[in-house]
Chain A
């Protein structure tokens, strides 16, 4: 049984029936993540008030990405999921990044 669990955690479950495993995340962890998100919201409002020129957009996007990361990895359990779930997200993100990148590659050189 121990071997099974190890395999399950490694992500290669194959077709064998696996024990129904899931991580119950403590409420405290969620509360910490919420505090982090609230603080970052404050930071993004504060940074927006400082004139940094084009870096304002960059800062806003970086902070938003950090917040999205917190939501994805903790609230959406991505940190505790098997490899399959962790591989799916980059596929979607790379697709979106390609679309945006290629559009700006066209738009910037017109």
Chain B
């Protein structure tokens, strides 16, 4: 047993290759569970939207399209810096990779700050789950805001997790544990971040752009 282990260790390159593909398949499988998690919420959204079409329309008018659009651009740009950060690691350009990763994390934080102000404004107007003011509205509007807080909240939680993940990846990059020959951690973090971006790509038109 030990000889086999030693054999693997000496031909570390081959071991790395098989790990590399396995790690990525694992990440994709995890992303599919995320897809189904949000997919379920999108399903609830679409059924209630079909049932309360006009209420959804009325409620959605109150959302700030500009803030939503700005957040869309912020997330799209963060995906760009993330993808470039991985490319930089693959090229062996560690400093650039670190810079781009920090930028990605900052974009993530900027997204959350915007979200804070957006939710804050809604709270000030008395629109939050369980509030008296929201309770007096039509059923469909209550459902719209329930789904809005649930879905953007769960998405926001994913952004927070992403930023925390980036700080770990950053540490690995600084300590040179992620480098040109071993970059699956940063690549998988990127895959996660891009999925979070894709979910927002669907959330934005479905909540902010109902005419």
Name the A residues within 8 Å of B117 (CB-CB): none
Interface residues on B, range: 35 or more
A56 B211 Cβ-Cβ under 8 A? yes
B contact residues around A61 at 8 Å (CB): 202, 205
0/1 per residue, B169-211, Cβ < 8 Å to A?
Answer: 0000000000001000000001100110110011011100111
Contacts of A72 in B (CB 8 A): 194, 198
Q: A75 and B194: CB pair below 8 A?
A: yes
Contact of B36 with A27 in the complex, beta carbons under 8 Å:
no
Partner of B43, one of A20, A75, A103: A103
Q: Are the C-beta atoms of B201 and A64 separated by less than 8 Å? A: yes
- Interfacial chain B residues near A104, Cβ < 8 Å: 46-47
Which residues of B come within 8 Å of A, CB atoms? 11, 13-14, 16-18, 20-21, 24-25, 28-29, 32, 35-36, 39-40, 42-43, 46-47, 50, 65, 69, 72-73, 76-77, 79-80, 82-84, 87, 90-91, 181, 190-191, 194-195, 197-198, 201-202, 204-206, 209-211
**B80 contacts A76, CB within 8 Å?**
no
Contacts of A13 in B (CB 8 A): 21
Most interface-central of A26, A51, A67, A74 (chain B CB within 10 A)? A67
Query: Across the interface, which residues of A come within 8 angstroms of B205, CB to CB?
Result: 44, 48, 60-61, 63-64
Q: Tell whether A10 is near chain B: CB-to-CB under 8 Å.
A: no
Q: Which of A48-83 touch B at CB < 8 Å?
A: 48-49, 51, 56, 60-61, 63-64, 67-68, 71-72, 74-76, 82
Report yes or no: A24 in contact with B87, Cβ–Cβ below 8 A.
Answer: yes
| A: number of interface residues (CB 8 Å) | 48
Inter-chain pairs besides A75-B194, A107-B50, 8 sampled, C-beta below 8 Å: A20-B13, A24-B87, A27-B87, A34-B76, A34-B79, A38-B73, A45-B69, A92-B35
**Residue pair A84, B76 in contact (C-beta under 8 Å):** no
Separation of A68 and B197 alpha carbons in the complex (Å): 9
Given contacts A92-B36, A100-B39, contact A68 B201 (CB under 8 A): yes
Chain A: CB-nearest residue to B68:
A45
Q: Judging by beta carbons under 8 Å apart, are A18 and B80 in contact? A: no
A9 within 8 A of B: no
* Structural contact, B84 and A30, CB atoms closer than 8 A: yes
With A20-B16, A30-B84 in contact, do A67 and B201 touch (Cβ < 8 Å)?
yes
Residue of B nearest to A96 (CB): B39
Residues of chain B contacted by A107 (CB below 8 angstroms) = 47, 50
B112 → A minimal CB distance (Å) = 19
Name the B residues within 8 Å of A37 (CB-CB): 76, 79
Pair B14/A85 contact, Cβ less than 8 Å: no
A52 to chain B minimum Cβ distance, whole angstroms, is 8
Residue of B nearest to A44 (CB): B205
| Chain A nearest CB, measured from B209 CB (Å) | 4
Tell whether, in the assembled complex, residue B16 and residue A48 are in contact, meaning their CB atoms are under 8 Å apart: no
Please, which residue of chain A has its CB at the minimum distance from the CB of B199? A68
